[in-house]
Structure 1
Amino acid sequence: MAPGGGGFLKEATEFCIASADSDLATSDAELGSSIYRNTAPGLGRNLGRPASNYDVDELLECPVCMNLMHPPIYQCPNGHTLCSNCKGRVHNSCPTCRHELGNIRCLALEKVSESLELPCRYKELGCHDIFPYYSKIKHEKHCKHRPFNCPYSGNYCSVTGDIPLLVGHLKNDHKVDMHDGCSFNHRYVKSSPQEVGDATWMLSVFNCFGRQFCLHFEAFHLEMAPVYMAFLRFMGEEEEAKQFSYSLEVGGNGRKLTWKGIPRSIRDSHKKVRDSQDGLIIHRNLALFFSGGNMKELKLRLSGRIWEVQ
């Protein structure tokens, strides 16, 4: 497992962690099948009746990413088109004829794309709604069927998917511990804690009320002050997360520090939650005091509970 932040730390359960483009060239023979040479005659034959969805989709398909194009749509002087996202990828060279692209807009295709009603890009994941182009873009930013990002915080992970897929991914690929139950006790241990900069303890996942919750614990500097922070994230949407509350507690030497909050959805990255300070924050000196007062070793016990909001 790759480290995140300053390195992997040790938990009392005895495990350790640390916190071409493809070749776009085509032969001369292939130039005859470009969008304008091939589809323009067909459009002419179809005057008087609307083009089929297949015809329109073929007309608007970007030759590089194969997605439907939308404004701005660019074309080379020979009429070959591609989407704005791919324009930078091909280094201003037409993927069909290699002519310099420049900044020529294909206004006709842009008008066509704006008039279409299109399915959500997450159709295969369960969204079957149809939208005008600009409404589609707005919808997709908040579509409840869009995939979630992997919530693992030890290193960057590009895996996305639905919750069952991510639970399996966390268990099998990141070797995250899975716990059943709505109450927990974790003990975080680190020798020479004064040397710890930014670091992350291993993520723990709790199965509770038939849902999954991610417990994060990490060390970082808050305005130059070294702190530890613990917080919970919910594996689901924000509206669902609001149906739950949780508490965290640390203490020692007759003192106790508690936190009560609402778990944040994994739609918010662990960094976003950490930077918002939405969790239990323990300054290093206090954490060491809780650990026994010798200031040489961190032995911090964190207990917590999750419950449904009535």
Structure 2
Amino acid sequence: MTLNNPLFDDTRGNRDVDPPQNEESTDVVELVNDPVQTASKPTGTVLSSVRELLECPVCLNAMYPPIHQCSNGHTICSGCKPRVHNRCPTCRHELGNIRCLALEKVAASFALPCKYKEFGCIGIYPYYNKPEHESQCSYKPYNCPYAGSECPVVGDISYLVNHLKEDHKVDMHNGSTFNHRYVKSNPQDVENATWMLTVFSCFGHFFCLHFEAFQLGMAHVYIAFLRFMGDDSEAKNYSYSLEVGGNGRKMVWQGVPRSIRESHRKIRDSFDGLIIQRNMALFFSGGDRNELKLRVTGRIWKEQ
């Protein structure tokens, strides 16, 4: 079967891949093709058939070397082989160490469009290089940074900003300085403080300010931190400071905003922000310590 650099979409998840290895390490079962039947098929049908061959029957992802095969010719990816206890998921025969080098070579002949082409990427990449490109593609959509729910929305920055404003009713502010008050009754219930999100527009970009309560070991604390709506390479060009205080005391935090490529939970659990112990927060609040009244001020600036 001769294929002249055909193109087809592969929008499923991919693994890190290695090129096909030398044939001496494993047994080889060659694919047998009928040239007459192949020639009579329309190109689209042939490509669809090849795409099916390259799809793992267990995880449904595209397969990359080493691709394993049972004695009856059914294939499976290396990641799923141990999951099925070395038994073919199609015919239940033992998989053994048979390597389908022919299919690996067929895959190597393809050049494919990036799966993020609908977001603007026009690149075409060899089959085995595509996963690496897609992991770093600048057109890869962002997940919604709204931390109060498992929001499934993805998109570019302008789309997400509008989504946060319209669907999550997030407060939007212009400027690089801010002054926020967080007021909650009955702060003894840490869950009652939940969290808040505010979006700032400055320097031609958008930033997300998070404030929430969570449990650090056995201690109930509050944390405030900033996220950059863009990639980490750009986020590093900015710095920010946060300040909270009361009764003649104050706490100051200075840091670098993290990209929304990183999950909200990952950043929070790394404690990369202004952390305020509950007792100190109540002290800052003054009064009878039955109400949380924190004023958090901050500034964002661009490094030279």
After TM superposition, list the pairs within 5 Å mapping 1:44-59 onto structure 2.
Answer: 55-56=46-47, 58-59=49-50
Cα distance, 1:139 vs. partner?
2.1
Q: CA distance change for structure 1 residues 189 and 118 in 2, over 3 Å: closer, same or farther?
A: same
Distance 1:250 1:68, change over 3 A: same
CA deviation after TM superposition for structure 1 residue 180, in Å: 1.7
Matched, 1:277 2:277: no
SS of structure 2 residue aligned to 1:193: coil
Conservation of the 8 A alpha-carbon contact between 2:184 and 2:192: no
- Residue among 103, 111, 120 paired with 2:105: 111
User: Normalised by the size of structure 2, how large is the TM-score?
Assistant: 0.73
Contact 2:56 2:63 in 1 (8 A): no
Give 1:297 shift: 1.0
| Structure 2 residue identity aligned to 1:208 | C
How far is the alpha carbon of 1:113 from its aligned partner? 1.0
CA apart distance, 1:197 = 4.0
- Higher RCO by CA contacts (8 Å cutoff, separation 6 or greater): 1
**Aligned counterpart for 1:138 among listed residues 132, 136, 141:** 132
Taking a change above 3 Å as real, the CA distance of residues 144 and 200 of structure 1, as seen in their structure-2 partners, is farther
Secondary structure in 1 matching 2:164: helix
Deviation at 1:188, TM superposition (A): 0.7
1:151/1:182 Cα in 2 relative to 1: closer, same or farther (>3 Å)? Answer: same
Question: How far apart are 1:223 and its partner, in Å?
Answer: 2.5
Which residue matches 1:158?
A: 152
In the TM superposition, what are the counterparts of 1:113-128 in structure 2 within 5 Å?
Answer: 113-128=107-122
Query: In the superposition, relative to structure 1, how do residues 244 and 273 fare at CA in structure 2: closer, same or farther (>3 Å)?
Result: same
Contact kept, 8 Å, 2:241 with 2:298, in 1: the verdict is: yes
| Paired residue total | 263
How far off its partner does 1:176 sit?
A: 1.4
Supply the AA of the counterpart residue of 2:231. E
CA RMSD of aligned residues (A): 3.4
The one of 18, 30, 34 aligned to 1:41: 34
Query: Tell me, what secondary structure is at the counterpart of 1:165?
Result: helix
Q: Find 1:225's aligned residue among 219, 222, 245.
A: 219
Matches for 1:1-310 after TM superposition, within 5 Å: 40-42=33-35, 55-56=46-47, 58-61=49-52, 62=55, 69-71=63-65, 103=95, 106-197=100-191, 200-310=194-304
Deviation at 1:294, TM superposition (A): 2.4
Q: What per-residue deviation string (whole Å, max 9, x for no partner) do you get for residues 91-115 of structure 1?
A: x865xxxx66875865422221134
What's the CA shift for 1:126? 2.5
Q: Given the superposition, is the C-alpha separation of residues 161 and 54 from structure 1 closer, same or farther in structure 2, using an over 3 Å criterion?
A: farther
The separation in 1 between residues aligned to 2:269 and 2:37, in whole angstroms, is 58
CA contact (8 A) 1:288 1:297 kept: yes
Give secondary structure in 2 for the equivalent of 1:121: coil
TM-score (norm 1): 0.72
Of 101-110 and 195-204, more deviation after overlay is shown by 101-110
Between the aligned partners of 2:229 and 2:45, the Cα distance in structure 1 is 38
Query: What is the distance in 2 between the residues matched to 1:102 and 1:172?
Result: 55
Does structure 2 conserve the Cα–Cα contact (< 8 Å) formed by 1:69 and 1:113?
Answer: no
The whole-number CA distance in structure 2 between the counterparts of 1:43 and 1:110 is 23
**Aligned mates of 2:93, 2:115 — CA distance in 1:** 28
Shift of residue 81, structure 1, vs aligned partner:
6.4
Give the direction of change, closer, same or farther, for the CA distance of 1:77–1:244 in structure 2 (3 Å limit): same
Amino acid across the alignment from 1:215: L
Displacement of 1:285: 0.7
Q: 2: distance between equivalents of 1:292 and 1:286?
A: 10
CA shift at 1:145, angstroms?
1.4
